[in-house]
Amino acid sequence: MVGLGRDAGTLDGIGERTIVCDLAEPGAWRRAAAEVGEVDVLVNNAGVGWRGPLATAEPGDVERLVTLNLTAPMLLAHALVAGMVARGRGHVVNVASIVAYTGLREEAVYAATKGGLVTFSESLRQELAGTGIEVSIVAPGVVDTEFFERRGRPYPRRWPRPMPPERVAEAVVEAIRSGRPEVFVPGWLTIAARLRGATPGVFRRLVDRFG
């Protein structure tokens, strides 16, 4: 296993080897793909958040979110999936978010990048049908990591409570083992996603009332 991230200290002890790389930098995906070589499983988990009214966001913040959360996963898949197809096996797991399905006020750009990742994954899954390559989305809720500190605002709610990152890792493993195209963690988040899709009017009224 190869671990890739921008923080060498965080990567310590992860995988047989590590690659220190910030995928938000121009062309970083190309270097990462070249260094990692052939892979049977690609897990796109890198991401960054930003919270606040859209009008107050700096253009650079918007560009960074789109680059890291959406463009980099697509380009890494572009670089590595061809080898999987040639070998007749492989799996791409893209880690999105529940807000990809529901949206969230003051997180319009973040939600849009994750929503784009969901659509990309579904389209790629259809494209690769019959090749031996699986594509899965893992959609977590609130995870207890440094994500909220780095985005500049703490998590504001008492419920749902943040879950340990190990639960997301377990969901990724489940997606790979089962071949499921979509895994929500925790599982009850499926209700929110399906409610938004099936009865958008009801969903919006609930969001307007309860936030």
CA distance linking residue 54 with residue 73, whole number of Å: 24
**CB atoms inside a 10 Å sphere around CB 46:** 19
> Residue with structure tokens 């009850």?
188
Our answer to whether residue 101 is catalytic in this structure is no
Distance (Å, whole) CA 115 – CA 33: 24
Q: Rounded to whole angstroms, what are the CA distances from 32 to 27, 72, 75, 128, 200?
A: 9, 10, 11, 23, 40
Joined together, the tokens standing for residue 206 give 């609930």
Amino acid (1-letter code) at residue 182: E
- CA pair distance 99, 154, nearest whole angstrom: 17
- Which residue is catalytic, options 110, 120, 184, 203? 110
Q: Write out the catalytic residue numbers.
A: 110
